[in-house]
Copies of this chain bind each other. A is one copy, B any other.
């Protein structure tokens, strides 16, 4: 693990007049959400009374070809669809947890695509099993559907059942459900993960990020509110807001690193947040230098912000190899040491003899950063001043990122001076926590800063990072 990963991205589309091929639009939208997960992806399509679904390990272009895509709508009108991309913890590449998951319950088919991570699941699972539930995965999504199916038995509609079920769900979840007559978007009361909706002609679309709606040519309407249940039917769009109104805790790391810069979340532009982070960094940690270099791709925006604020020119000092994918082979130790340079090559005449401000979004273990600084020195850099556009993170996250156990986090073990020496920089500056909380201009929500501060917005006593990612059924 040398960087932090988001768990998932979700997308849904509900046609009202068969204007669009729901599978095709979902396919396109998943491309725009691919940064949220490259381990597996899937699309489920409602074809009249049945649901066709393809999920596989791999990225969108790995999994879908023309034949597969058209097979999804071969059996019916294909007017409603659900899509999912998934990241997963190390080694957890089990196909069975791929989404969307397609199930059936008393009222017919029910399909789900979820982003987030629940806490206190063991208790809930125990309760369901002691009433006769049978599970086929460890996925939160399956448990959510089981819970809704139970509540549905005594209620007159599914949104009431969801609203009741939400009272038993703790943690992060942004999910979309597809039923025989509805497409339903649900965001947890804390609003940990983003979720928004818009229009594409006469169709309604729901997505993890606004960039997906914009990319397919749609029109962003608004974010789903924390706690909101948004229901889209053939005739109507309406909300259940029974669970709204709690203190929110949107993940600030969406703005730091996870989301795409062209997304706007809860009113705040992600790109603008990163420019601000760079600006605040320049104010908090100024330095005399010749050029500001961002570590591609995630450090570029903040580097421009730093350059604009400081007056030091922005420059391209590192060239990223666009072809290195998941399958990069490094058999020898020597190769592993050199892997940083294969991925990021210093651009000689931009570096040589220069004093460099090097900007990145975070430091996890510090080893990649150290190798990079070594390479820049070999390329002739005179000074290297490392600037990080977020505070040191020192606490595990239980809400859907894979920030691993403490012993992998360098900031848990070393203080800032020690980290600076470890990575070999001339100086090191992290963004302050107060600045961090201010980067998202115009945000309509409050933020979770637990990874920096340890102040968790829900009770995580008894949570165990490792447990969350055990892959098999016990």
The interface of chain A, by Cβ under 8 A from chain B, is 21, 24, 27-28, 31-32, 34-35, 38, 49-52, 59-61, 64-66, 69-70, 75, 101-106, 108-110, 129-136, 142, 145-146, 149-150, 153, 211, 214-217, 260-262, 264, 269, 271-272, 297, 300-301, 304, 308, 313-316, 319, 321-329, 331-332, 335, 338, 341-342, 345-350, 472-474
Q: Contacts of A131 on B, CB cut-off 8 Å?
A: 132, 153
B65 touches A31 (CB 8 A): no
Q: In whole angstroms, how far apart are the Cα atoms of A64 and B324 in the complex?
A: 12
Q: Contacts of A64 on B, CB cut-off 8 Å?
A: 329
A106 touches B135 (CB 8 A): no
CB closest residue in chain B, given A350: B271
CB closest residue in chain B, given A272: B349
A32 touches B321 (CB 8 A): yes
CB closest residue in chain B, given A152: B132
Q: Contacts of A149 on B, CB cut-off 8 Å?
A: 132-134
A473 touches B348 (CB 8 A): no
Q: In whole angstroms, how far apart are the Cα atoms of A33 and B49 in the complex?
A: 36
**Interchain Cβ contacts under 8 Å between A and B, 24 examples:** A28-B335, A28-B342, A31-B328, A35-B323, A38-B323, A61-B326, A64-B329, A66-B331, A103-B135, A104-B473, A105-B133, A105-B135, A106-B129, A106-B130, A106-B132, A110-B134, A130-B153, A132-B149, A136-B136, A211-B345, A262-B319, A262-B346, A300-B316, A308-B313
Q: In whole angstroms, how far apart are the Cα atoms of A35 and B59 in the complex?
A: 21
A331 touches B24 (CB 8 A): yes
Question: Counting chain B CB atoms within 10 Å of each CB, which of A35, A135, A329, A338 scores highest?
Answer: A329
| A335 in complex: contacting residue of B24, B60, B129, B348, CB < 8 Å | B24
A91 to chain B, nearest CB (A): 11
Q: Contacts of A70 on B, CB cut-off 8 Å?
A: 331
CB closest residue in chain B, given A473: B104
B314 touches A314 (CB 8 A): yes
A271 touches B316 (CB 8 A): yes
Q: Contacts of A32 on B, CB cut-off 8 Å?
A: 321, 342, 345
A33 to chain B, nearest CB (A): 10
CB closest residue in chain B, given A126: B106
Q: In whole angstroms, how far apart are the Cα atoms of A149 and B132 in the complex?
A: 6
A329 touches B65 (CB 8 A): yes
A381 to chain B, nearest CB (A): 14
B134 touches A104 (CB 8 A): yes
A132 touches B133 (CB 8 A): yes
Given contacts A52-B472, A66-B329, A304-B316, 11 further A-B contacts (CB under 8 A): A21-B332, A24-B331, A32-B345, A34-B323, A60-B323, A61-B324, A104-B135, A105-B134, A109-B474, A217-B341, A264-B348
CB closest residue in chain B, given A138: B104
A133 touches B133 (CB 8 A): yes
Q: Contacts of A346 on B, CB cut-off 8 Å?
A: 214, 262
Q: In whole angstroms, how far apart are the Cα atoms of A423 and B380 in the complex?
A: 43
B134 touches A103 (CB 8 A): yes
A261 touches B104 (CB 8 A): no
Q: Contacts of A136 on B, CB cut-off 8 Å?
A: 101-104, 136
Q: In whole angstroms, how far apart are the Cα atoms of A324 and B104 in the complex?
A: 34
Q: Contacts of A49 on B, CB cut-off 8 Å?
A: 474
